Structure 1
Amino acid sequence: MTKTHVSPGTPGSGPARRTPGFRAAAVGAALPLVLAACGSGSGTAEDGTWAPTEAIEITAPAATGGGWDTLARTGARLLEEEGLVDQSVQVVNKPGAGGAIGWAYVAGHGGDPHKLFVTSPPVLLVPMAGNSDHDHEDFTPIARLATDYMVYLVPADSDVETFDELAAQAESGEFSVGGGSGPGSMDHVALAGALTAAGTDPASANYIPFDGGGEAMTSLLGGHVDAAVVGTGEALGMLESGDMRAVGISSPERVEAVSDVPTLVEQDVDFTFDIWRGVMAPGDLDGAQVAYYEELFAELMDTEAWQEESARLGWTDAYQDSEEFGAFLDDTRDEYAEILTEVGLQ
């Protein structure tokens, strides 16, 4: 079974990348909507443009050290360092329930243009499993930024050398695999899909959920689980330190940042899985506010600093503006429904 949910572009060449002149044109087109909002966007100028009037807050719906936290903190730091914002950018962590705690927090700030959150497949998968009161339609898509992949980790001294060996151990039910998302969500689906492709019944695996990939790796280091499945960017520090080894990666081809890690496909496991990463906001933002943020993140991605960080973290640029990202989310939810059914998680 091969499932690839995104066809990522090459770095810097994501679809419909905006030019610096886009914001003025987009805001001009959105002006009637802004005027109709009747003051809903504090910070809206007479010409219809909008800019933040207070600190921007980016929520990472997980504990520190995971993929959401890495994206939020990298984005916040570079937005300030590159001088792209006049206000400060703050990161808050709202871990729990596979992301649902953080989404509930953001949903409680409907219409607030100073609240953002980072997102990835769990915003679709967790609600599909019935574990969140909010789904992606409750929020405003801002931009898709990048694509990452999953790595399958074991301790450096583990006897497991290949993904087939990991699958064989997992089939026993006594070999535990930690992940940074809840049952039926991203990490679990990435494990279950790979195990199915390797000829192992995913229901036999002992999957242990944690609040983020950082916690899953901490548990692996402590010997509390036997393996872990997390995003490549999350695992780089542990791989570089030599504390862990990756026995496979879910990319269609090898990733430069971890070029020594074989793909699942190379190991005759016909499965790929990519982690799209993006930014969303509370519901009910107006056109000028959306235009400000989608162009802001497009400008961020054009900086050399972002390109260097992306390469270091193993990310591939895959920009989509608000409208494109919203359509992508709708389509991807349908794809995930098929995968969950195929691996017996729905």
Structure 2
Amino acid sequence: MSLMRTKAWGSACAASALLVTISACGDASEAAEPQDDFPNENIEMVIPYPPGGGSDVLFRLMAEYASEELPVTITPTNVEGASATVGSRQVKDSDADGYTILASHQVVAAAHHNEIVDYGFDAFEPIALGTTTPHLPSVSTEFSQEHGIEDLQDFLEYVEANPNTVNWGFTTGSEDHYSIAAVLDAAGLDTGILNYVNYDGTGPQYAGLVAGEIQGMTGDYASAEGYIEDGSLLPLGIVAEERDPNLPDLPTVQEQGVDYTLTVDRGFFAPEGTPEEHIEILAEAFEAAINNPEFQAEVENLGSYANYLGPEEYQAHLDELDAAMASLAEEMQNF
């Protein structure tokens, strides 16, 4: 799929859509003419999550390193709400000039397939994939000690024997919504076997778990590290092909008999119609940042991995993610 896509916004524009980039009938996100001096002002990076979660931490780190490769600063802004769709919609409807970009992941597709919004990845131009992070389904230490739960299999056996008694935190339409559904499905259990409690982001989920509102949730090491170290959180397994060096004694879910892997793939998007030249400049900055050994070391300490993909490769990867989200969309809509 081309990075430069032009929409025909009605019959009056259809004839001219093949000849011009910007239609007179365009919406709020009209394509901009390429600028020879792009970028000449700071770039806003919209993070559609509250401060403090894994996404916020990693995206801010990527913005810091990428800014070193540009003559301007990439400024992160948290625009949370409505399952990360307030922020994504803000970027979608912004001027398509490269000065407002979205920092996000599978939530774009998950929210679409859960009918929270009427747009998905195709509403954006992919810039670059930055990091991959394994999921970490976890329960509170208090809950695990009360019921003798030490790993994922213990947990699955418990919920099978005690359906609809465990409160599980998630964000509707986010990748953790998909992840828990996929784990249960791969284990042969009904995806509705838990009591699902919706929170607007990972940070509020941790707060709910510590407060005893929920017994479990799905996060990642970047956001869970402090809770693991203070003893309030017990990871059940790592959703990856290999164990995490930060948690070498924690088996993967595959090692525990559940044939499933998922990484949270964090990357960057611009509004549809953003000039290809601007996309390329941003992608080059992120490529240099992500391939920086110092950045890679910091990311690995957070339980994530640098994984640069340029615009075309990232688009192909997004197509695969979108298909995976679609496969469980109906079950996800049940909770």
> Does TM, scored on the shorter chain, surpass 0.5?
yes
**Residue 40 of structure 1 is aligned with which of 18, 32, 57?**
32
Letter matched to residue 177 of structure 1: W
Aligned-pair distance for 1:72? Answer: 2.0
Matches within 5 A, 1:215-254: 215-254=204-243
Aligned-pair distance for 1:118? Answer: 1.0
Percent identical among aligned pairs is 27
1:211 aligns with 2:196: no
Distance 2:176 2:245 in 1: 22
**Structure 1, unaligned runs of 5 or more:** 1-34
Distance 1:155 1:344 in 2: 26
Find the counterpart in structure 2 of residue 156 from structure 1: 141
Contact (CA 8 Å) 1:61, 1:68: kept in 2 or not? no
Find the counterpart in structure 1 of residue 256 from structure 2: 267
**Residue 145 of structure 1 is aligned with which of 126, 130, 152?**
130
Letter matched to residue 139 of structure 1: F
Aligned-pair distance for 1:231? Answer: 2.5
Aligned-pair distance for 1:167? Answer: 2.2
Aligned-pair distance for 1:324? Answer: 1.6
Aligned-pair distance for 1:108? Answer: 1.8
Deviation sequence 1:216-268 (CA, Å, 0-9, x none): 11111111101111123221222233321201111121011222221111111
Q: Secondary structure at the match of 1:196?
A: helix
Distance 1:163 1:340 in 2: 24
Distance 1:266 1:332 in 2: 23
**Residue 107 of structure 2 is aligned with which of 100, 114, 122?**
122
Contact (CA 8 Å) 2:177, 2:332: kept in 1 or not? no
Letter matched to residue 143 of structure 1: A
Deviation sequence 1:125-176 (CA, Å, 0-9, x none): 1101110133111111101122111111122333221212222343421211
Find the counterpart in structure 1 of residue 73 from structure 2: 88
Distance 1:342 1:318 in 2: 30
Matches within 5 A, 1:281-300: 281-300=270-289
TM-score (norm 1): 0.81
Aligned-pair distance for 1:57? Answer: 0.9
Q: CA RMSD in A?
A: 2.3
**Residue 178 of structure 1 is aligned with which of 166, 169, 186?**
169
Q: Secondary structure at the match of 1:249?
A: coil
Structure 1 residues 92 and 170: alpha-carbon distance in aligned structure 2, compared to 1, 3 A threshold: farther
Contact (CA 8 Å) 1:115, 1:281: kept in 2 or not? yes
Letter matched to residue 125 of structure 1: A
TM-score (norm 2): 0.83
Distance 1:342 1:203 in 2: 8
Aligned-pair distance for 1:318? Answer: 2.3
Find the counterpart in structure 1 of residue 6 from structure 2: none
Find the counterpart in structure 1 of residue 43 from structure 2: 56
Find the counterpart in structure 1 of residue 10 from structure 2: none
Structure 1 residues 144 and 103: alpha-carbon distance in aligned structure 2, compared to 1, 3 A threshold: same
Distance 2:203 2:121 in 1: 24
Structure 1 residues 54 and 262: alpha-carbon distance in aligned structure 2, compared to 1, 3 A threshold: same
Q: Secondary structure at the match of 1:278?
A: strand
Deviation sequence 1:47-99 (CA, Å, 0-9, x none): xxx4311111111111112232122211122234xx32222221111111211
Q: Secondary structure at the match of 1:292?
A: helix
Contact (CA 8 Å) 1:170, 1:176: kept in 2 or not? no
